[in-house]
Amino acid sequence: MKVAILSPIAWRTPPRHYGPWESIASSITEELVRRGFDVTLYATGDSETAAKLRSVCERGYEEDRKIIPKVWESLHISTLFEEADQYDLIHNHFDYLPLTYSGMTRTPVLTTIHGFSSPGILPVYRKYNDRSWYVSISNADRSPDLDYTATVYHGIEIDQFDVRLQPQDYLLFFGRFHPDKGVREAIEIAKRTGRRLIMAGIIQDEEYFQAFVEPELEPGVVDYIGSVGPGERSELVGNASAMLHPIRFDEPFGLSVIESMACGTPVIAFERGSMPELIRHGENGFLVKTIDEAVQAVANLDRISRADCRKYVERKFTVERMVEDYIGVYHRVLKESRKRARRSVSGSLPAVGDHYG
């Protein structure tokens, strides 16, 4: 099977520090290659992959602000679709924009919807609902307006995360510094429990950071250590007593949640979005509705088995399980696309699946 993986170009694939969509596109690509698939990754030119790499934009536009995003996104996506008939299937991780190019080819386009940034993007998904295929990353993040082929939970390279059964005495906030992620709430929870809080991640909302985070910074009490890459992540996360995840939006998935549990570190999260699908209350973390409940959860951390947190991720959230699920989806999409091709009255475009074996 010849598969094209379309990754975003905000960051390198895989990302150096932040870039969840690029991270998942990379994990799928590398596991498919390990399984013998013929894969071409469409990503930035500095990306690292065992697959064939196709690029028109040398660096991610979040890493090189001289790059005009829409210009290079257009060139990036159009390059793939001009070459689409070389492939049996296109796996899109670039949100809705590539769907508007999908009429250029009969090659089926499978889109993993990594979340809806706004209800305003739904018209594009609705337009292509009957001629494309959609995968959700959690059951919570589904629109009633769309049809879905499957829900495929994200998976991680479990060997990149070392389990630590004896943590240090600090709480961790690990994520974007944005009001949606509940940074202010995490600070309040930590201060009320008397625990040190270490915070790591990119600053996405500078005004929010200056107004609500900087005034609270105090060495040894509330520390911000910047963005943390893969090399430092396992130690930082694994040594935490718990990760605080008091989100203020319905999060579609939450990679940091399963990364935390892979290190044996339980997660205390507000019960929104996909959190009930990732966290088993009282077993690998706590689902809470208020700051008061989160404070109480910190006091109950000794009830959680860190070894069980790790085992849970090993069962449900590995890259091997994720890719196995996607391969099943690929076969269903190819089968359905052939049925659609036979029903089509047009014979002007190439038949689907010419390279499929």
Residue in the block written with tokens 């409940």? 293
**Residue from 205, 203, 255, 254 nearest 224 by CA:** 203
Residues 306 and 188 in one domain: yes
The verdict on residue 350 lying in a domain is no
Query: Does residue 351 sit within a domain?
Result: no
Q: Do 192 and 223 lie in a common domain?
A: yes
Tens digits of pLDDT across the chain (357 residues): 999 999 999 999 999 988 899 999 999 999 999 999 999 999 999 999 999 999 999 999 999 999 999 999 999 999 999 999 999 999 999 999 999 999 999 999 999 999 998 999 999 999 999 999 999 999 999 999 999 999 999 999 999 999 999 999 999 999 999 999 999 999 999 999 999 999 999 999 999 999 999 999 999 999 999 998 877 899 999 999 999 999 999 999 999 999 999 999 999 999 999 999 999 999 999 999 999 999 999 999 999 999 999 999 999 999 999 999 999 999 999 999 988 877 764 555 454 444 443
Distance CA 343, CA 241 (A): 58
Domain assignment present for residue 245? The answer is yes
CA distance 203 to 214: 12
Same domain membership, residue 180 and residue 260: yes
Look at the chain and report how many structural domains it folds into. Answer: 2
Look-up: residue for tokens 């999409």? Answer: 333
Residues 6+ apart with CB under 8 A from 48: 12, 13, 14
148 plus 178 within the same structural domain: no
In a domain, 349, yes or no: no
Furthest C-alpha separation in the chain: 70
Same domain assignment for residues 143 and 251: no
Does residue 261 form part of some domain? yes
What is the CATH number for 269?
3.40.50.2000
In terms of Cβ atoms closer than 10 Å to its own Cβ (0-12, 13-18, 19+), residue 225 is exposed
Kindly give, in sequence order, each residue whose CB lies less than 8 Å from that of residue 45, ignoring residues fewer than 6 positions away: 53, 55, 56, 57, 58, 59
Q: Please tell me whether residues 167 and 304 are part of one structural domain.
A: yes
CB 94 within 8 A of CB 81: no
Note down the domain range covering 251. 159-315
What single-letter DSSP state applies at residue 54? E
- 201 and 113 in a single domain? The answer is no
The whole-model pTM stands at 0.91
Q: Which residue has the tokens 């979040």?
A: 62
- Distance CA(105)–CA(84), nearest Å, equals 6
- Is residue 356 domain-resident? no
